[in-house]
Amino acid sequence: MSKGAASISIILAAVFGFFIGVVAGGKWTGTEGTPATEASASGDAQADSTRIPVGNSPVQGPNSALVTIVEFSDFECPFCSRVEDTIRQVRERYGNKVRVVWKNAPLPFHQNAEPAAKASIAAHRQGKFWQMHRLMFQNQRELTQANFERWAQEIGCDMNRFRADMNSPEVARQVADDKALAERLNAQGTPNFFINGTNLVGAQPLERFTALIDQVLARAETITPRNRVYAQMTENPVASPEEPQRPQQPQQPRQELDPNTVYKVPVGNSPVLGANDALVTVVVFSDFECPFCARVEPTLAQLRERFGRDIRFVWKHMPLPFHQKAGPASEAAQEAMAQQGHAGFWRFHDALFVENRAADILERPSLERIAQAQGLNMERFRAALDNGTHRAFIEADKTLAQQIAANGTPHFFINGKRLVGAQPLDRFVAAVEAALTEARAKVASGTPRARVYEEITGNGATAPVYQNGGQAAAPQQEQGPDPNRRYTIAPNPRAPFRGGANARVVLEHFSDYQCPFCTRVNPALEQIAQTYGDRVKIVWRDFPLPFHSNAMMAHMAAREAMAQQGNAGYWRYHDALFGAQQEFSGEAAAARAFFERTAQAQGLNMERFRAALDNRTHEAAIRQDMQALERSGAEAGTPASFINGRFVSGAQPFPEFQRQIDAALAEAR
């Protein structure tokens, strides 16, 4: 080949390579799903690497960034969840110099990780990956198909496209390609990072990331042209840091509830719709304020039409603790039953779940209007709500739900078999038809129709049953903590507390205002305070999780309430936050407005309050609490409690706390 021809070939190859690099490297920007046309046009977008390609993976940060962090991660891995805050701090520190690329590496012993990976890519194909990413890590122990669809709908996905993509070979292939790339790179375990090609393994502290990034950045700034930095450095990366001590990965998969178990779910005195001798009984645990409960009502109406006399519905009240209006609505509907029987309940039920219902439908004036329109005795109705006449009945329903792990709403038991969430009609039809087949066989063998439900469920399970005879994993961690281990928690003498200042039993409670599990455990803590009084000191410790975007601001706001109004002021603000969690779970500006309204309503000095949030006055103190938990050695998420050093993981019911507290009191005598 002549020198001239060779030169032309080299130039053409360079141009072609540059073009491919710009297209591949510039496909995604920090604003997900938006083509990086400006970066590509300017020639600043990083050319892709053949060794560790970005491809069409989700990206945060500009494609012109000199440092690319490729993260192999697993949505069910607790260490992956823990490192998310560190990655956020990295992005805050380095700004446009860093971009983060997500690669799915679902581990084989995480049963829900692969479906979660596919759901994340289905959301990514609509430009919604990072929103889905946030919800998955926020609800890491609830990675189910029903929730993937629910979250996809919440973030505005086209649901037909989402479902099709989740089951498409293209999405499966993208997840498989990510896993294959991890295998080629020998990226074993999660999380696993490649920073311009240099491997960093595990949920390392911020200092480990910054030390390596600074080293990578120093090299990157010497390379020209700038758009070749990533491609060149992945081929010739800086030396790997000394291999860190890996956190031990869990060895056993988390057990899942057995979907084929029949539970004993008594009808009792609950509201019933349908014939008493129906062959199929659908017990519904529901919440009048839950949007998914409202969404499933038309489906239940279709079932009534389709199966007629063969189906009946039994309502069980399950007002969720973060739905302020759900409890009074349940009490109102139950009073309608007390006055007008089952028919009265279902009329009230239908009025609350009316299509296109007004925003104030669950407010007290609306409840009274419905009651009056339906001819209830208004003096009795108001007295029932004022005096909490039906609260014990509703609490009994909630206790039953807890005993059989009916977590979340809506939750169904169809002739005793569990079905979770606002499922499509065909899922319900299949479950009901299967139940009908079994019921008809019972009738054919001589069981009276009115006895079929009792015959099928009478000896059913009264506690959760898990697949393969397994046990439930402790909430918020992969394996249960050693019940005999005592953890050392660095004290915070300035922390807000309830109970006796010098109590012999101290319950250190780490919590997050935006965490739904933290909301769920609050009734148990309230019962502890009422039951034990000054014998137990309940100490609040801040632990805002990184993937709860407004949690840190909420914690800072509560701290400022304490700074201005002391311990009592803190708990007033605490109660307001947990009473309206959804009000500050969206955009940052809306959350800030809510925090200010709450502060103003509670009489805080607003100039001081705003300054505290603007200057992040209390962040350092909050991070000290976070460090206290991290340094304890406990593998904990939120909520996490320590009773005289013994770890109680997750949103446990009051009896579990009671058992631990009684043991601690006995030891302290």
How far apart, in whole angstroms, are the C-alpha atoms of residue 538 and residue 642?
10
Helix (H, G, I), strand (E, B) or coil at 483: coil
Burial (CB < 10 A; 0-12, 13-18, 19+), residue 54, is: buried
Q: What is the pLDDT of residue 119?
A: 96
Question: Which helix (H) or strand (E) segment is 400 a member of?
Answer: helix 391-403
Which fold, 10-235? Glutaredoxin (3.40.30)
How far apart, in whole angstroms, are the C-alpha atoms of residue 5 and residue 151?
57
Residue 213: name the closest of 180, 236, 238 by CA.
Answer: 238
Sign of CA dihedral 391, 396, 399, 404: negative
Confidence at 633, pLDDT banded by 50, 70, 90: confident
CATH number for 497-668: choose from 3.40.30.10, 1.10.490.10, 3.40.50.1000, 3.40.640.10.
Answer: 3.40.30.10
* Residue 498 and residue 571 in contact, taking contact as beta carbons nearer than 8 Å: yes
Q: What is the pLDDT of residue 142?
A: 87
Burial (CB < 10 A; 0-12, 13-18, 19+), residue 630, is: middle
More confident residue, 455 or 634: 455
How far apart, in whole angstroms, are the C-alpha atoms of residue 557 and residue 349?
38
- Alpha-carbon distance values, 52 to 16, 196, 405, 566, 633 (Å): 19, 9, 43, 54, 34
**pLDDT tens-place string over residues 114-165:** 999 999 999 999 999 999 999 999 888 889 999 999 999 999 999 999 999 9
How far apart, in whole angstroms, are the C-alpha atoms of residue 430 and residue 641?
42
Residue 473: name the closest of 249, 254, 251 by CA.
Answer: 254
Domain ranges of the chain: 10-235, 272-457, 497-668
Could you tell me if residue 381 is left (phi over 0), alpha (psi between -120 and 50 degrees) or otherwise beta?
alpha
Per CATH, 10-235 and 497-668 having the same topology is answered yes
The pTM of the full predicted model, rounded to 2 decimals, is 0.41
CATH number for 272-457: choose from 3.40.605.10, 3.90.1570.10, 3.10.129.10, 3.40.30.10.
Answer: 3.40.30.10
**pLDDT tens-place string over residues 582-632:** 778 778 888 899 999 999 999 999 999 999 999 999 999 999 998 888 888
Mean of the per-residue pLDDT values for the chain? 85
**pLDDT tens-place string over residues 54-85:** 999 999 999 999 999 999 999 988 888 888 98
Residues 6+ away with beta carbon under 8 Å from 513: 544, 548, 551, 554, 555, 558, 574, 577, 578, 581, 584
How far apart, in whole angstroms, are the C-alpha atoms of residue 174 and residue 172?
6
Helix (H, G, I), strand (E, B) or coil at 179: helix
Amino acid at position 152, single letter: A
